[in-house]
Structure formats: C-alpha cells, structure tokens
C-alpha cells in the first residue's frame, strides 16, 4: 500500500508529530511505501533547523531528516511556512517548501492519505 502523510501539528506541543513519525516507521517496516510527508499549519515547525532540543529529549527534526534519507519526500507548505517565518535556508536537510497543489497530487497518487493533528 502507498501512503501519504499530512501532519498539521508542531513537534513538541502535540502528540501528532510523534504518532505520524511512528506510523511512517511502522508502515515502512511492513513493506509499505510512504510517498511523502506534507507539513501544514504548525506542522512546518517539524523541519526547521531553528529547533535545538536538549540532548536527553527526542529530536523530531532529525527524525524527519532521517526518513528523508530513506527516500520519503518531506514537504513544507509554502503559505504556512511564510506565515511562521520559515524560509528555505532554515529547513532541515531533505525538506523542501512547496505549494498546496502538491498535496492534492499526493492525495490522488496514494492509496491512503493519513492525517495527523487537528
């Protein structure tokens, strides 16, 4: 099965980011394909290098980058990013900024679009 992920919550104020990450890892471990993770609303904070969590805390930004290393496309909504002051130069590796039209394309191509967050 091919999945697309829509993540709408930030990394440390809501469980959605952790749940989405764990879902992607589990799906890939079971042989499913995760085509892309699209970050919308506060979800765009999941890929900013401006975050610097303490060493004893999970580094969600690094987790998403590692999934990008495994071929999962990590996309940040341009409108949501600009509203929050996030530009290309502060994105983590393997993340890119794109428009909402790409989310529509993802939803058409995948078997299931999983939505995490309110």
CATH code of domain 2-116: 3.40.1260.10
Q: Known catalytic residues? A: 77
Query: Are the C-beta atoms of 47 and 91 separated by less than 8 Å?
Result: yes
Mean pLDDT of the chain: 94
Weakest mean pLDDT among 42-46, 87-91, 110-114: 87-91
Tokens of 18: 């952790």
Task: Tell me: pLDDT of 57 over 90.
Answer: no
Q: Encode pLDDT of 61-109 as tens digits.
A: 899 999 999 999 999 999 999 999 999 899 988 999 999 999 999 999 9
Contacts of 93 (CB under 8 A, 6+ apart): 65, 68
Task: Tell me: pLDDT of 50 over 90.
Answer: no
| Every domain of the chain and the residues it spans | 2-116
């Amino acid at each position: 099965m091919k999945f697309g992920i829509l993540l709408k919550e930030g990394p440390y104020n809501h469980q959605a980011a952790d749940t989405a990450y764990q879902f992607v890892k589990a799906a890939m471990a079971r042989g499913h394909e995760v085509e892309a993770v699209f970050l919308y609303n506060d979800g765009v904070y999941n890929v900013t290098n401006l975050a610097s969590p303490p060493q004893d805390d999970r580094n969600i930004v690094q987790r998403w980058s590692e999934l990008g290393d495994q071929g999962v496309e990590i996309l940040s909504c341009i409108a949501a990013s600009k509203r929050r002051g996030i530009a290309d130069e502060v994105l983590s590796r393997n993340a890119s900024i794109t428009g909402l039209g790409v989310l529509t394309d993802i939803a058409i191509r995948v078997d299931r679009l999983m939505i995490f967050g309110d």
